[in-house]
Amino acid sequence: MAMQLGHQIAVDFDVPARMRDGAILRANVYRPAGDGKWPVLLTRLPYGKDLPGAGGGMDPAQAARQGYVVIIQDTRGRFASSGEWDPFRNEAQDGVDTIEWASKLRYSDGNVGMFGASYFGFTQWITAVQQPSALKAMVPFITWDDPLQGVLFRGGALELGTTANWQTMMGLNVLMRRHQNDPDPRNLGHAVYALVQDMDALGKQGYWSLPLKEFAPLKRNDVSPSFFETIEHPMERAQVDHMTILGKHEQASVPAFNAGGWYDIFLKGTIANFKTMREHGSTPQARQSKLIIGPWTHGGVTNPIGEMNFGFASTAGFIDLKIDFISLQLRWFDHWLKGVENGIQDEPPIKLFVMGANVWRDEHEWPLARAVETRYYLHSEGHANTLNGDGTLSITSPQEEPSDQYHYDPNNPIITHGGALLMSPEYPAGPRDQRQTESREDVLVYSTPPLEEDVEVTGPVTVHLWANSSAPDTDFVARLVDVHPDGYAQNLTDGIIRARYRNFEQGEAPSLIEPGRAYEYEIDLWATSNLFKKGHRIRLDVTSSNFPRWDRNPNTGHDFGSDDEVQVAQQTILHDAEHPSYVVLPIIPTA
């Protein structure tokens, strides 16, 4: 597992690169000392090249000692780079220009790879689809393909927890640049103080701000016009084309080693990026893309994750006790940028961490070909409310059964507790005990009896829910839970559907629902890999909110973001012969 580090290195700070419109983007360059030419590893980020975390999962000093030029660049309008900050919009053009510049540096051999996490995973993809000739390979880590699936929205609901938190934090550098030539330094101090006050209050107060189109923490600081553009144009694909990879993968010709986490906010996109390139890549190289998924959160790759001890080998620093994530990336780049035959392409394309069993396993396709899609149906005698109710889950299809009911009050929503999050500090991500949430009357709980044998679920998870509401628009949330013998309720994955967008994925325009009429909703819970051990129970929770992760549906049917008052909705979940509600679990046979 030890790296072979050879070169002494030199570091050049604030190296300028001129874009085609004259903007100057600056980067720190780590390179082997002395004369020579080496392949380039590039990352482009808006979070400050000089700040901790700028490596995005890569140690630039280690990579330089192994014979790479590593370039960490501030994106346009951020920190040391000139130009105007407009999130996502300039990254395609600037990425192409930066690769062209990097490939011609005196110490570059002309071959470029890209790396980085989240936003700087996106800067890789949006550059790759422009097909710059010098780009040979990339390692996008915890990033997306579709901004309407986990970045800005999810199932039609606003990703309020992520977007408000991210936009507020990004505002600090906006204010610093805005006041950099201000003759009175107190103006900057006052502006930063006001923003930080809102940052600190976001978790307990700011998220509750209504109406969303006047979202106070961002409105009064004037640091994020893009947030309000999102509110004004909800779920409009044309509005988010500049930050979309979906539908453009065929334009990317280089192989991607995709890395993600079961509790990551961009899990669906990470898997989709791999699957699309592996199956439909435009070149033989692109079709050799790979995927690794750990039990990780967004940026959390050390043990424990949330409240769970997944074992020392679960960490990115000691993957399967065989290799660390930095070395894994460098093996990938050694092959594609240096032509080293190190066997990485002879290995299975997928490495997954199976939670519960707490082991890594190699796979050859996604979804797993041997997985058996199994319906677990919701049942009750009409009182599935709370974990002490009579809700059950089984593979037996329902006959005549009473429905379950609860009130959804947007003024008293279900409060976010764990999951795939990137929110203010009050809301840590990952697995958390759900019993307090499941003790509420507005949560329906359906559980199997204790399992008589181990059951592994690995693959996509979807819920088909028959429901009616007294409201013209409302939300439904579903969560898959592993219940331990001592009662600990470990959340695995969840999802939401906003009623007016119930057929959005089928290309239909949003439409309100008829109060009291039953509709079938499909809720995408994305995916997981978990061994439900003997004696554990499989559980599905159903409710109508998970706030402030997702914005509260006010139940009015009014235009998105316009409400400052809300209504209570009476929700009915059906599970009878004519309206079977169920979760589809991909079961992995034990033999």
- Cβ–Cβ < 8 Å for 81, 71: no
Check the CA dihedral 387-149-274-421 and report its sign: negative
- Cβ–Cβ < 8 Å for 482, 356: yes
Give the HSE-up count for residue 159: Cα atoms under 13 Å, Cβ half-sphere.
22
132: helix, strand or coil: coil
Active-site residue (options: 81, 118, 380, 469): 118
Q: Would you call 118 a catalytic residue per the annotation?
A: yes
Distant-in-sequence contacts of 215-220, Cβ < 8 A, 24+ apart:
215/164, 217/164, 217/168, 218/164, 218/167, 218/168, 218/171, 220/194
Which token pair is 300? Answer: 């959390």
- Cβ–Cβ < 8 Å for 155, 544: no
Instruction: Name beta bridge partners: 42.
Output: 71, 114
Active-site residue (options: 94, 97, 264, 324): 264
- Cβ–Cβ < 8 Å for 81, 22: no
Check the CA dihedral 413-418-419-423 and report its sign: positive
CA distance 582 to 551: 25
Neighbour tally for 378: CB within 10 Å: 28
- How far is residue 14 CA from its own chain's centroid? 31
CA distance 34 to 116: 27
Residue 419 gets the label, from left (phi > 0), alpha (psi -120 to 50) or beta, of left
Which token pair is 127? Answer: 């550059």
Active-site residue (options: 179, 298, 464, 575): 298
Q: Would you call 224 a catalytic residue per the annotation?
A: no
Residue positions annotated with a catalytic role: 118, 264, 298
